[in-house]
Amino acid sequence: MWSAFFIMIIKEEKGILIKDTHFNPQHVLECGQVFRYTCDNGEYSVFSADKFATVAKVSDGYYVSTDSPDYFFNYFDLDTDYDKIVSHVSQISPIMQSATQYGYGIRILKQDFYETLFSFIISANNNIKRIQLIIERLCNQLGKTTPHGKAFPTVEALASVDADFYRSIGAGYRSQYLADTAKKVHNGYDFTFSSTAEISSKLCKLLGVGQKVADCVMLFSLMRKDVFPVDTWIKKVYHAYFEDGRRDNEIRQRLIEIFGEYSGYAQQYLFYYQRSIF
């Protein structure tokens, strides 16, 4: 048994009890950072790589049931103080007050690197429902069977098929990107980089990975918060609440100037909020 110092978290052999207002499974899982979850009667199930958990409301908080409590403690970023983050970003811009109130309980997940990489290559110029469908087919056909369903495929499995396979599961013109990147990373991917800029440029050398996808991978799996994924929704936010015009990369730089080391958090609240308005 173990508890965090600022919120009440009790880690047990088969799960984690979370008593913290800054944890809401609906907002954590449905805010667009992860694609492989389901909801049944208010109870969420989530896969990460080959690990599985369910999250249910209990009288004094939420209970995460899993065989891998250590993994999901890390996955749900439970040793980070979101009270501090929310109050900080809320002071920066009035829109952030609305965004953090709407998306209360969002936390930035620490997801599997390869799952995040391939998921966000699929996400390019695509919509979330179809992204989820393509990933589901990918897992069903290439993932290992586990007691709770199919795991996300290993890099070996992803590299063992060609572009035609990815076309057959509906990946469209991203099929060649997936096949090419799978072979590249399977042949050994260098993780010795250090700075965010260094990781970014390395990721952007992979086919199907541009600045936006690289930012998502760094934010959702490599714990880099000094990034700001600029997609079609963030552009709408920027033009509505900050200023008109500017190119994508300029918008990214401006927002990182504004939010600094809290950029990744701010981005996720804004993305989720903007999509709710639409």
Binding site for DNA (CB under 7 A): 31-33, 120, 123-131, 167, 170, 172-173, 177, 204, 206-214, 216, 229-234, 247, 249, 267-268, 271, 275
Q: From 127, 117, 123, select the one nearest 218 (Cα to Cα).
A: 117
Q: Nearest approach, Cβ of 153 to DNA (angstroms)? A: 20
Q: Nearest approach, Cβ of 208 to DNA (angstroms)? A: 5
How far CA 71 is from CA of 37, 64, 177, in Å, comes to 16, 11, 30
Helical residues (DSSP H) of 103-204, grouped into ranges: 113-122, 128-142, 155-159, 163-168, 175-186, 196-203
Q: Which is nearer to DNA, 62 or 177 (CB)?
A: 177
Q: Nearest approach, Cβ of 182 to DNA (angstroms)? A: 14
Give phi and psi for 63, each to the nearest 5.
-120, 125
Q: Nearest approach, Cβ of 75 to DNA (angstroms)? A: 16
Q: Which is nearer to DNA, 129 or 244 (CB)?
A: 129
Q: Nearest approach, Cβ of 28 to DNA (angstroms)? A: 11
Q: Which is nearer to DNA, 19 or 254 (CB)?
A: 254
Q: Which is nearer to DNA, 7 or 34 (CB)?
A: 34
Q: Which is nearer to DNA, 1 or 129 (CB)?
A: 129
For 43, the token pair is: 């109870």
Q: Nearest approach, Cβ of 3 to DNA (angstroms)? A: 30
Q: Nearest approach, Cβ of 265 to DNA (angstroms)? A: 12
Q: Which residues contact 20 (CB under 8 A, 6 or more apart)?
A: 7, 8, 9, 61, 82
Tell me the torsion sign for CA atoms 112, 113, 114, 115: positive
Q: Which is nearer to DNA, 66 or 119 (CB)?
A: 119
Q: Which is nearer to DNA, 78 or 131 (CB)?
A: 131
Where do we find the tokens 């990034």? 227
